[in-house]
């Protein structure tokens, strides 16, 4: 199994990291040392409403439910109705996961896929879709259009909207076409929507994209305009890591087709893939409190407002990047060259080739650094 997995790519960034660490600014604004924008790990505090819920549930002698408690599953269904324009999610079709990365890595296996089965995912993508296909012994197949599959339809098709790393948002119309195509062929569609609450488009842009007047986040696969209110064959993965600064809790969930979820639940019960009780309670608190999500979004919006113009002024073109936690930028040169040039200025970014060969002329610049570090990055980019 190990030999089927790709090399862990982050080690290749170590020389650039060393160079960035050694940076000494010419002005106080530029500051000292590395500004690490290579990973998307949240840096702001976990909200108190969540830490309080975690502490209050610290006494947990018994095993928690793999399925999650009914109130947690109902809270997820309510969240889809309130925040995702997707009423009608059946709490029976909700399943907490131990972060969404494990779900992405194991979904093909949990669905029973194996050798000969195709798993599709975007050409420029979070690497774990590929890893998940390999863990199952299935065939990973990057593709940006359903036509790319030809007659051999995948058994599972991953979408990622908003995308990591590109920040591309898929509109209602696009999603509907994918669902229609998948239904004709019995393809399971899984949409990873973990950046949905971090959508930077203006009201006008959303209207032009056909989002609908009440939309407050990125369109969901479970939106009735996408799937006609029928969730058969559809799954959405969502994570609280980004919206609630909970990456350390491993708090996420899956929602959609109750029949598919029942099968996944069965295997996960046998395998002990259980979200700890205090984390389940913390998730319930996080889902019930929109205030901290709005606060965190405002922080990222401000950082984006500082970084994006600085990146553009430094001669990089920012593509897509309409939502999510990254700027997807290109200087129309190999991404490693851009990585090295930015490392000279003490800024570490991720090369686009981490996300597929189609990303080889881009870099991914994360917004997940403190205000001070983002301001230092902007000053250094202005040199
Ligand atoms: C597209 C995408 N999916 C899933 C994850 C995993 O998030 P977590 O395991 O923290 O829920 C990430 C994390 O960066 C991501 O970018």
Question: Tell me: the pLDDT tens digits for 65-79?
Answer: 999 999 999 999 999
Task: Determine whether the shortest distance from the Cβ of 101 to ligand 1 is under 6 A.
Answer: yes
| Separation CA 84–CA 217 (nearest Å) | 6
Task: Determine whether the shortest distance from the Cβ of 252 to ligand 1 is under 6 A.
Answer: yes
The pLDDT of residue 144 is 92
The pLDDT of residue 322 is 98
Q: What is the pLDDT of residues 93-106, one digit of tens each?
A: 999 999 999 999 99
CA–centroid distance, 228 to ligand 1, in Å, is 28
The pLDDT of residue 273 is 98
Where residue 7 falls among pLDDT bands split at 50, 70, 90? confident
Is the Cβ–Cβ distance between 20 and 348 less than 8 Å?
A: yes
Question: What is the CA 164 to chain-centroid distance, rounded?
Answer: 6
The pLDDT of residue 371 is 98
Question: Which residue, by CA, sits nearest to atom 12 of ligand 1?
Answer: 101
The per-residue pLDDT of the chain, averaged, comes to: 97
Question: Which residue, by CA, sits nearest to atom 16 of ligand 1?
Answer: 164
Is the Cβ–Cβ distance between 284 and 74 less than 8 Å?
A: no
Mean pLDDT of 139-156: 94
The pLDDT of residue 213 is 84
Closest CA to 255 of 376, 86, 24, 35: 86
Where residue 8 falls among pLDDT bands split at 50, 70, 90? confident
The pLDDT of residue 150 is 86
The pLDDT of residue 1 is 83
Ligand 1 atom closest to Cα of 246? 10
Alpha-carbon distances of 18 from 23, 25, 191, 278, rounded to whole Å: 9, 16, 37, 38
Task: Determine whether the shortest distance from the Cβ of 247 to ligand 1 is under 6 A.
Answer: yes
Mean pLDDT of 28-47: 97
The pLDDT of residue 166 is 98
Q: Where are the alpha helices (DSSP H) in the chain?
A: 14-21, 48-56, 70-83, 100-110, 128-136, 172-185, 203-208, 224-227, 240-243, 258-271, 277-287, 291-313, 335-344, 371-381
| Separation CA 77–CA 231 (nearest Å) | 13
Task: Determine whether the shortest distance from the Cβ of 164 to ligand 1 is under 6 A.
Answer: yes
Ligand 1 atom closest to Cα of 242? 10
Where residue 9 falls among pLDDT bands split at 50, 70, 90? confident
189 pLDDT more than 90: yes
Q: What is the pLDDT of residues 317-335, one digit of tens each?
A: 999 999 999 999 999 999 9
234 pLDDT more than 90: yes
* DSSP summary character for residue 90: -
249 pLDDT more than 90: yes
Give the helix/strand (H/E) hosting 364.
strand 363-366
Domains of the chain: 9-45+292-382 (3.90.1150.10), 49-289 (3.40.640.10)
Where residue 30 falls among pLDDT bands split at 50, 70, 90? very high
Task: Determine whether the shortest distance from the Cβ of 241 to ligand 1 is under 6 A.
Answer: yes
Cis, bond preceding 162 (omega within 30 deg of 0): yes
| Separation CA 348–CA 376 (nearest Å) | 12
Q: Looking at the whole model, is its pTM more than 0.95?
A: yes
DSSP one-letter string for 12-81? GGHHHHHHHHT-B-SSGGG-BS-EE-SS----SPPPHHHHHHHHHT----SPPPTT--HHHHHHHHHHHH
């Amino acid at each position: 199994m190990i030999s089927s997995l790709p090399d862990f790519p982050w080690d290749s960034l170590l020389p650039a990291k060393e160079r960035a660490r050694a940076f000494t600014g010419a002005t106080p604004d530029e500051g000292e040392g590395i500004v690490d924008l290579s990973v998307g790990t949240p840096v702001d505090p976990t909200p108190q409403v969540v830490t309080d819920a975690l502490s209050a549930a610290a006494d947990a002698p018994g095993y928690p439910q793999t399925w999650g408690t009914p109130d947690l599953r109902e809270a997820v269904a309510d969240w889809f109705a309130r925040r995702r324009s997707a009423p009608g999610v059946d709490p029976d079709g909700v399943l907490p996961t131990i972060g969404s990365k494990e779900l992405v890595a194991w979904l093909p296996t949990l669905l029973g896929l194996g050798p000969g089965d195709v798993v599709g995912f975007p050409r420029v993508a979070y690497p774990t879709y590929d890893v998940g296909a390999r863990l199952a012994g299935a065939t990973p197949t990057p593709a940006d259009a359903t036509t790319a599959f030809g007659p051999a339809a995948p058994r599972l098709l991953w979408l990622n909207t908003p995308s990591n790393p590109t920040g591309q948002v898929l509109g209602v119309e696009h999603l509907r076409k994918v669902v229609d195509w998948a239904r004709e062929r019995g393809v399971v569609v899984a949409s990873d929507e973990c950046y949905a609450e971090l959508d930077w488009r203006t009201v006008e842009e959303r209207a032009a994209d056909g989002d609908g007047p009440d939309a407050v986040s990125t369109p969901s696969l479970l939106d009735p305009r996408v799937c006609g209110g029928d969730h058969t064959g559809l799954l959405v993965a969502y994570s609280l890591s980004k919206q609630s600064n909970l990456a350390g809790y491993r708090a996420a969930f899956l929602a959609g087709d109750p029949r598919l979820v029942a099968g996944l639940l069965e295997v996960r019960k046998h395998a002990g893939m259980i979200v700890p009780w205090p984390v389940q309670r913390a998730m319930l608190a996080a889902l019930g409190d929109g205030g901290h999500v709005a606060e965190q979004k405002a922080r990222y919006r401000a950082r984006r407002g500082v970084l994006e113009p600085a990146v553009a002024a430094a001669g990089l073109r920012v593509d897509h990047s309409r939502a999510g936690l990254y700027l997807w930028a290109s200087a129309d040169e190999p991404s490693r060259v851009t990585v090295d040039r930015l490392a000279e200025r003490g800024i570490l970014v991720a090369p686009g080739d981490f996300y597929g060969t189609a990303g080889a002329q881009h870099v991914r610049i994360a917004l997940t650094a403190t205000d001070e570090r983002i301001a230092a990055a902007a000053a250094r980019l202005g040199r």
